[in-house]
Chains A and B, each alone.
Chain A
């Protein structure tokens, strides 16, 4: 073989290898501002990866984030989220007024609301949709959000009233139930002397009184389980109840008992079973959005098929090819169609992070879903201008079973809290920020959030000593705590993903700072949930909570009546503080009272706060009107493609109005 050929071939090989190697180095050091191409789409469309394929297009049924985003495009309700602050803004309701303790809401609907098939929208649609969402047959997974409505829970769980057949009187709840929230104004008879509504300059006269309105202004009725066996059990347990029930009949709670009323064709009134000042923000949730009555009644569960579906939001369904794409187009019947900027939205159901990010880089996508950016990429992605770095509406914490020793001693709990270095945790997880309180830091503008205890291992050891378990230091610098009943605590976690690594990390922290090795126990998901709910674990478990609405109460209510927190900690003073806050009309004062309650709860230490998450996604700089709000919910009608480069977003858009 001639040396010429040899040399040429070798040269080729060497060149190729060199080229590739230098290329791979230059790719990183090229220091692009943005991650990938920044060429806007030629048409006025928006292409988005939504995550998984949506389970259902029925707004009462879907439970995941991909569905939530779709519902916001297809359906509307009384109010809509503000794209930056998530505060409730007029949607199908033009204006509203609320009574003095936020237990009665009256909404005046706009008269030009239309379905996508041209039918007009009026108050009856709301009554139908709310009743349907709460009906037991619908089995909506989000129905619990509407339980603030009067009789909503009773209707949903098919409970019964207790009525005297002769007098027609119903038994009242406050006579038989102990831990009820205090009666709201709307549960007391109407007193013309007491103005119930805040004075509203638009409404010179108050809304018409109706028989239903009168009826809603009676004390809450007692409800008992609809199932005979459960009911009998409940009655037998309470002798006073048993006596009172004798001779009475049981009347099932019907849809008509639900606290919602059409005052006239374009006025809806809602009645709460308790004071709920945050409820207005909750009304933007998908479970409160409208469904088309005629279509649902005609086609049943098939009403969401593309050939039948009728929607009322800014967009309507154009195409749906499962596992390929879902295309929405602007709905000309929408009442605010003139304000909708996009012509079409493309939703791609891709779950693979690499595929998503590659498509984004090339410019086939304009934005990606929250947490689409893989964790190992963050140290490079963080510096890109199209990376959205903002606080997320969720918290991570450890719950403790406060009913069993040794964790029933608050000093022990505090010690374990002080022994976890949350800063180190945040560094390890990369997309979280350390949390010392119970509400995410910076999420509620104007909320005077309490600080909570910072990491302090010396103090932790001291407290543990005070509690009767002294910690001694060994020769090599490590600690040991021989008196601590290690067998009485353990850390339970469910076998999935990185939970084991998390458990081990916590274990390592306590070992390092307290000298105590907490045993780990894994269990299957369902068993884990049960153990937490029924307080059948000893020691620690992981907990997490995402906000249902933008108010601190969504987190603090975990320790309110009926809150399922898995710690067994219940404090009447705390509950009273929360009630007082919810009764307060002044927003600022209310926040202060809530903060006080939170500080009180943190001091009692039923949980160990760990971290609050950050949002973690990218969008192209030419996408405007899309903000990294804590819930990652985007009212699609505000999004538009900006073609003037000077007006692009060159950093995370601010969430404050300015």
Chain B
């Protein structure tokens, strides 16, 4: 196994290779072809109990986040922003506790300092966090796939240069630049801020995607179907996007599933610092930032959003692991 360290090789970045050191896995270039790929993969996934657990939790959390606030409003009558008018209720109560200390089903996660129901807030925060995570991942997918596919297909010096750029950017403290960006171009509207976040977060994770796709394309572009397409005069762009890219879907999906928790984490920490989601929208990160203020006396304000977020990320990571195992046994964990 003599290899030279060629930085252009498929290098699933270690931080993404949650379970293994695919630092020099040239095998990743191959993939299993066949029409039963997806069915096989699905079957393998289902056998993996942890991944199933992760999938179930993720589905539950997603449904709860999307539908939860509406359900709570219908059943209990309060929205995430509802501040009770009775002064006695304008305070932070522990989970399952009423104003006089008695047991109550009304607030399973307690209330925050203004009396707002925490469960509704956490679920709404989940909406934003998941939404941002998925969209930003898609953004990074878009950039990464395009960049990598083009670089891989064109090859040669162009490819070299593009990959050098990726190399250099890899070592830069990208998040620092993102913070500077977000602080400088603060948007007035919450919606504008979200769009800014999508772009900023998406641009932090496309590097590895580009590398993966490029590696795939490199190994694919000399296969017969590509040669055939070229011979019949199909244009380069069509070849890239109609033929090559769909065949890279395996690693791309895996990587995407692993990127979502990463981006959610980044968004959370940006919101925690005050650069991400702005009021009145709340994400798990900003909820945690608020919760820390009262950690010495009302710890549930931090623990509830924190544990929910950790659980979701936990499950997403397991799901990603499982997907990777399922889609490409070659990249298997041991």
Contact = CB atoms under 8 A, between A and B. Distances in A.
Q: Do chains A and B touch in the complex (CB under 8 A)?
A: yes
25 contacts: A1-B47, A1-B48, A1-B49, A1-B50, A6-B53, A10-B53, A17-B307, A17-B311, A21-B95, A23-B299, A23-B303, A25-B95, A25-B96, A25-B97, A28-B94, A28-B97, A28-B298, A29-B94, A354-B293, A361-B296, A374-B294, A376-B91, A376-B92, A376-B114, A376-B294
Given A20-B303, A20-B307, A427 B87 contact: yes
Interface string A360-393: 0100000000000010110111000000000000
Contacts of B314: 13
Interface string B18-62: 000000000000000000000000000001111001000000000
A9 interface: yes
A24 B53 contact: no
Given A21-B95, A380-B297, A6 B49 contact: yes
A361 B311 CA distance: 30
Contacts of A1: 47-50
A28 B50 CA distance: 35
Contact of B299 (A6, A24, A36): A24
Interface string B101-116: 0000000000001100
A24 B303 contact: yes
Interface of chain A, main secondary structure:
helix
B300 interface: yes
B292 interface: yes
A3 interface: yes
A24 B94 contact: yes
A24 B95 contact: yes
Contacts of B294: 354, 374, 376-377
Given A21-B307, A27-B299, A374-B294, 4 more contacts: A21-B95, A24-B300, A29-B94, A374-B293
B67 interface: no
Nearest to A430: B87
Contacts of B229: none
Nearest to B321: A1
Size band of the interface chain B makes with A: 20 to 34
Contacts of B92: 376
Interface in A441-469: none
B317 to A, nearest CB: 12
B175 interface: no
Given A1-B49, A6-B53, A427-B87, A354 B296 contact: yes
Interface string A413-452: 0000000000000011000000000000000000000000
B234 interface: no
B303 A25 contact: no
8 A-B pairs with the lowest CB-CB distances in the bound complex, closest first = A376-B113, A6-B49, A24-B300, A24-B299, A24-B303, A28-B94, A354-B293, A427-B87
B181 interface: no
A3 B48 CA distance: 9
A311 B41 CA distance: 81
Interface residues of A, number: 29
A357 interface: yes
B50 A6 contact: yes
A380 B50 CA distance: 42
Contacts of A3: 49
A361 B299 CA distance: 14
Contacts of B94: 24-25, 28-29
B326 to A, nearest CB: 12
A357 B91 contact: no
A482 interface: no
Interface in A76-120: none
Interface string B282-300: 0000000000111111111
Interface string A1-34: 1010110011001000100110111011100000
Nearest to A427: B87
Contacts of B297: 28, 357, 377, 380-381
Given A24-B94, A25-B95, A376-B92, A357 B50 contact: no
A358 interface: yes
Contact of A428 (B87, B97, B292, B293): B87
Contacts of A10: 53
Interface in A538-566: none
A21 B303 contact: yes
Nearest to A22: B95
A422 to B, nearest CB: 14
A30 B155 CA distance: 67
Contacts of A358: 295-296
Contacts of B48: 1
Contacts of A381: 297
Nearest to B293: A354
Nearest to B47: A1
A5 B91 CA distance: 43
Nearest to A9: B50
Contacts of A5: 50
A9 B57 CA distance: 14
A27 B50 CA distance: 33
Contacts of A27: 299
B53 to A, nearest CB: 6
Nearest to A359: B296
B296 A357 contact: yes
A104 to B, nearest CB: 53
Nearest to A20: B303
A25 B104 CA distance: 13
Contacts of B296: 36, 354, 357-358, 361
Nearest to A10: B53
Contacts of B97: 25, 28
Instruction: Kindly name the residue among A5, A27, A36 whose own CB sees the greatest number of chain B CB atoms within 10 A.
Output: A27
A3 B298 CA distance: 38
A13 B311 CA distance: 8
A313 to B, nearest CB: 34
Nearest to B299: A24
A13 to B, nearest CB: 7
Nearest to B99: A379
A18 to B, nearest CB: 10
Interface string B154-165: 000000000000
Nearest to A378: B91
B296 to A, nearest CB: 5
A36 B295 CA distance: 13
